[in-house]
Amino acid sequence: MTFPRIFPAALLLAAFSVHAAPKAAKKTPAAAAGRQDAGETVRRLPPIFRAAETDKTGFPQTGRAIWRLHADANGKIVRREQKTDRAVAKQAAAIGDLPQEFPPRERCVVRQSQSGASETVCRNVPFTVVQEVYFVMPKNLAIDKTQFAGVVQTVPPRPVYPPLSMENGEEGTSVVRTAVAPDGRAYGAHTEKSSGHPRLDRFAVKGMDAARFQPARYRGKPVWQAVSSKIEFKLD
């Protein structure tokens, strides 16, 4: 049997192991990059993590802001959508201008001509760029344990060991960074440190979708906190 060893939130939680059978991974939010969405290709940029500012009482204003930038076939942004938590509206407004243009994206199809020969035809297509920004618990406030309690994991991540990686003898440890929300879910999963194998990194990120946490609290109220988790893929 093959086990990816999971070391979630190395700064916060103890290590443990889970069994990962060689099966196809389900489609998850973390795996959404590159999917078709209303006829457009969706590209997710690496999430941005920032230390949250505090209000006049010294309470951290944590939360999330999401931009969806809709580009035409030439890569020019023609429409913007923004969804921002109320607590971080001012911080999100200070992010600055987002790009007005991106490199065009192609979609290619293989067609068969009347002569029976196959040819590849490519054309530029509209696409959407998603940028997420997380305003998380500042480290200087997290030091005060009389007011701050960090996240506690209640359900572990469930990474799948990619069958092709097993066949190729790929091993390594991925460090995945996420932002744990007041609802106890992990968002913005991305590779903080690569295992050396992109496929293992992708499956480590996907596995974090299953993780659940007791959220961090400051002065008794839930706040967003950044967490790093080690996921080790090792062949027995």
Give the pairing type, strands 16-17 and 36-37.
unpaired
Q: Give yes or no for a contact between 2 and 235, defined as CB atoms under 8 angstroms apart.
A: yes
pLDDT tens readout for residues 91-147: 999 987 788 899 999 999 998 877 888 889 999 999 999 999 999 999 999 999 999
Pick the CATH number of 3-234 from 3.40.190.10, 3.30.2420.10, 3.30.470.10, 3.40.50.880: 3.30.2420.10
Q: Exposure of 154 by Cβ count < 10 A (0-12 exposed, 13-18 middle, 19+ buried)?
A: exposed
Average pLDDT over every residue of 1-16: 44
Its pTM surpasses 0.85: no
Instruction: Share the mean pLDDT of the chain.
Output: 85
pLDDT tens readout for residues 138-163: 999 999 999 999 999 999 999 999 99
Determine the Cα angle at 190 with ends 184 and 193, to 5°.
Answer: 120
Token couple for 95:
């992010």
Determine the Cα angle at 159 with ends 158 and 162, to 5°.
Answer: 150
Domain residues of the chain, as ranges? 3-234
Q: Which of 154, 133, 166, 136 is nearest to 62 (CA)?
A: 136
